[in-house]
Structure 1
């Protein structure tokens, strides 16, 4: 399975108005984010009387994702270069934006970028689906910054940790141009390279897979649950990741070389049945980063104290090998949503029911220590 995204912007957008006479500034030409900002700004400048939706702008300029375009538009609005209307999100160029001719605004003050001095908390990053990601500390910076720096230097990263700790969310926050291969035991080479599909006239057309597309367009490729994929299938990645950066597409009789920007990152869930981290795979990733649940973030996002304390205790038992499952951030956020919808008692019962059968008694005991009343997994009762 793959997660499709719109294509990377072309070298020159047909929507950039020739009448502006603007040329790329060093900032705009120095990276993908600067180029995208300029393309968005000049498209708005070419339609000064229009109030445009994010999706309309994304399609018009051929941007990598609506999330990336939305970030550029918010920067424009914060600089006074555009007016931001909501319900849905719409934008219109201002006179200041027209005068700026597509150039990026100056960097925001430190407080805007890092929060008030002394808080140590960076501002959240908007993921392509519109949800917020709260960066965490890593190697003297934040996890989002570190992943972006590693991509700039072509240093592959393997993120590992239990399911639900936020590995995919982090990667989506770091890379707005992301393509994804969701690994399973049934993943085949064609899921990476592509395959021939039948046409209505009886012919066939070769459709490139996410690996080839990422190489052609200079995009990031996430191999999620990489250690569930058979090693012989994963071997298709290795020529693209090493110094050659070239792959051969056997059925298409074609060779493809990666362009600048292409990058591979992978996720691994240790302890999941069937997940095997081979030496061949591990050695391809120079940086291995463990991702665990941020309990402070769980509290910040509204998870109740008893639920967090239960999860912390169960994760201690998981680390000691006494159980094989413990709730992570994903389950805690689900607990909070169910609690708001059905009430706390139903949320606790549902959390108990999410535990595997072999660990359920242990999980129930931990829940009963911190929540009042008899707790049983959420179960249908008699007819009313």
Structure 2
């Protein structure tokens, strides 16, 4: 079958929704247009595929195999001669049954994050959290994830959206952190570099606004025209350039209630139709090798956190750190280090809980005298 025929009716060439169908569908379309360079959003639209993220993953695999050339700024792809020669017989990537994080598996399959670490999907709304977030993106329903720091909000978003861009929110975040700014050049001139919001809109990617409630409300307002029905913004600092959102563009935000300076305004909350609380999965902590006394300590302290007796409790991030320190320096040092991570106002209470679980007096990790 020649490439043009395959592109005209991909389902006829590869079957309907069988394993690898999207891989061959994208490849066939690229092969039918060898002189064209496509963005992820353009391919998603022309192929009438619901998930930009899935198309992006296919394109990355094609580029890795040498079947396509990957250009950046924005991400663009063009078929190579090798890809043209292989069109019609091009094998799909090695099958994974079931798909990472997919429902109906009996056991939830881990998803590899960009840093190489595994994310273990959790149950949510009759499916998995990864599956739910991907479905919300397909329907353009913005989601706000909230919960204590260290519970895995960012890890979940990275697992669900491999095309992710991020703005890390602080009280000092400014509009330029979203839109872009001029940077100096070696010759003394300046060049405007687009920010993550602009890039995500043009390339049809997901934008995570992490710690969104730390960002001043006036700054966050730059997001709202991009999220509503207009899906258009302008860049005042750069010729009032108009930016339209490509298919696949999506915004997700993270919020840490109780963190100093974090304020969830009505304007921000109303922009996100779905609010999902993210807590620590204690069974997962045990599965990942966290010692049982450490997990029991965290469970007890989180109960105290809910009742207002303390302002801090260890979450999955701290427990995984505990395990790494324990393997490197020993259990005594790991317990002492966990005690030292507690805020000064909660230190005595945390020390008492640690002593009850580990059976010995605990002193925060501190430098001693010279030997």
Measured against the shorter chain, the TM-score band is 0.7 to 0.9
CA distance in 1, matches of 2:362, 2:151: 26
CA contact (8 A) 2:56 2:163 kept: no
* Matched ranges for 1:1-384 at <5 A: 30=49, 31-32=51-52, 33-34=54-55, 36-37=57-58, 40-41=61-62, 44=65, 60-62=69-71, 101-102=89-90, 104=92, 108-109=96-97, 120-252=106-238, 253-384=240-371
Q: TM-score, normalised by structure 2?
A: 0.80
Structure 1 residues 232 and 243 mapped into 2: Cα distance closer, same or farther (>3 Å)?
Answer: same
Report deviation, 1:197.
Answer: 1.5
Does the residue aligned with 2:234 lie in a helix, a strand or coil?
Answer: strand
Report deviation, 1:288.
Answer: 0.1
Runs of at least 4 residues off by over 4 Å: 16-20, 26-29, 97-100, 105-117
Could you report, residue by residue, the CA deviation over 1:68-106 in whole angstroms, capped at 9, with x for unpaired residues? xxxxxxxxxxxxxxxxxxxxxxxxx9xxx9586346469
CA contact (8 A) 1:158 1:285 kept: yes
CA distance in 1, matches of 2:162, 2:99: 24
Report deviation, 1:108.
Answer: 4.9
CA distance in 2, matches of 1:246, 1:111: 34
CA RMSD of aligned residues (A): 3.3
CA contact (8 A) 1:139 1:146 kept: yes
Task: For structure 2, list consecutive stretches of 5 or more residues without a partner in the other structure.
Answer: 1-25, 35-42, 75-81
CA contact (8 A) 2:256 2:262 kept: yes
Structure 1 residues 257 and 298 mapped into 2: Cα distance closer, same or farther (>3 Å)?
Answer: same
CA distance in 2, matches of 1:128, 1:64: 19
Structure 1 residues 159 and 42 mapped into 2: Cα distance closer, same or farther (>3 Å)?
Answer: closer
Structure 1 residues 39 and 305 mapped into 2: Cα distance closer, same or farther (>3 Å)?
Answer: closer
Could you report, residue by residue, the CA deviation over 1:273-319 in whole angstroms, capped at 9, with x for unpaired residues? 00000000000000000000000000000001100001000000000
Report deviation, 1:372.
Answer: 2.3
CA distance in 2, matches of 1:293, 1:195: 38
Does the residue aligned with 2:243 lie in a helix, a strand or coil?
Answer: strand
CA distance in 2, matches of 1:112, 1:186: 37
CA contact (8 A) 2:210 2:253 kept: yes
CA distance in 2, matches of 1:111, 1:218: 23
CA distance in 2, matches of 1:112, 1:330: 22
Task: For structure 1, list consecutive stretches of 5 or more residues without a partner in the other structure.
Answer: 1-11, 47-56, 66-92
